[in-house]
Structure 1
Amino acid sequence: MRFIWTLIWSFLLSNMAFYVLGSMQGGKFDFTTASIFGVVFALFITVVGEMLPKEAEEH
């Protein structure tokens, strides 16, 4: 479930960032590029999250 949420949030945030930055520069919003970037960002975050050491549980 955490992978699905990571994909959803990265997709939404990357599209929002591309839209805002594009409008600030007077450019055109490209949904395809923003979506591809969102998926790549989600994969990067997932890989980095899996590589981090797991914390030991405290009892």
Structure 2
Amino acid sequence: MRFIWTFIWSLLLSSVLSYILTSMGGTPFNFMHTLVLSIILTIAVFTLSEGVLREDKEA
């Protein structure tokens, strides 16, 4: 379930970011770019949460 929510939040945040940047640049909004950015953000969050930022439990 956390993977689904992570993807939903990354899709929402990247949509807002993409909309703001494209309107500032005067270019049309492209949802495919937003989807690619969302997938990259989701993979980055999974990588950080499962590998890099995980604390090792010492016995």
Same topology, TM > 0.5: yes
- The one-letter code sitting in structure 2 at the alignment partner of 1:7 is F
Tell me the distance in 1 between the aligned counterparts of 2:13 and 2:47.
Answer: 18
Separation in 2, partners of 1:31, 1:10: 13
RMSD: 1.4
In structure 2, C-alpha distance between the alignment counterparts of 1:25 and 1:36, rounded to whole Å:
19
Aligned length: 56
- TM-score, length-scaled by structure 1: 0.82
Residue matched to 2:47: 47
Bigger relative contact order (CA 8 A; separation at least 6): 1
| Structure 1 gaps, min length 5 | none
Counterpart amino acid of residue 50 in structure 2: E
Say which SS state the counterpart of residue 29 (structure 2) adopts: coil
